[in-house]
Amino acid sequence: MHLATCRTGKVFILYDADSVCDAESVPQIGPSLFDPHKWHHTDRVVGQAPGRGSSLFLDAGGEQWVLRAYRRGGLAARVSTTRYLWTGLERTRAFRELRLTAHLHEQGLPVPRPVAACVTRHGPTYSAALITVRIPTAHALVERLNAAAPALLEEVGTTVRRFHEAGLDHVDLNARNLLVDDDDKVWLIDLDRCRLRPPGAWREANLERLGRSLAKFDRAEAMAAIRRGYVKVS
């Protein structure tokens, strides 16, 4: 994976040169790559994900992409749902998430392959969006909970432990950010605000957050099998 950057006026783009380019080809790097209206206009929106921001699934030719705009929630959304304080390009949420995702992807960990991140500066604030490759046949763990076999739940725990061993503190580990494909492979998505850290109490905090998510969907008992898988990793 070769990450490169380009700038068009107030728009900054970090991208994987193996996925997009600045030549006369499709898909072509540029601000329009992140424009939902362009994708709708060309009938290349094939669906969208639930949740804040409604990520779009895009037909990118040989694969599908996920376009996600960064949106605020909670009290901050009363000020702005799309603007964040500018403190430097490399500190923007989009650039940090893409670089972290690329790092984990290159280590062979099950994360979506990153495509590009876009940051548009608006004086003291910025807005941003991210594109990743959509994982074929994958669905959120929450959709599999009612029929999930113990072996699958243990695989969830094993996967979480692999990320922990790599140092990833996932600040929003929940049953929607864990995906399962048709081969029962477990994937981790949405690395916004996540970071790499040395071992510490944050690992247990991640697991407890996942446990609260399972309880929200009336499957708190599934956490026992997940923890079994977690401790199996040597």
The helix or strand, by DSSP H or E, that contains position 195, with its residue range, turns out to be strand 195-196
CA distance 72 to 211: 24
Which residues lie below 8 Å from residue 48, measured CB to CB, with a gap of 6+? 54, 55, 56, 57
Backbone angles phi, psi at 85, to 5 degrees: -70, 130
Question: Which of 184, 183, 178 has its CA nearest to residue 211?
Answer: 178
CA distance 210 to 216: 10
CA distance 98 to 100: 5
CA distance 163 to 229: 13
CA distance 101 to 47: 23
If you count them, how many residues does the chain have? 234
Catalogue the active-site residues: 172
Q: Which two tokens stand for residue 49?
A: 């994900």
CA distance 117 to 13: 6
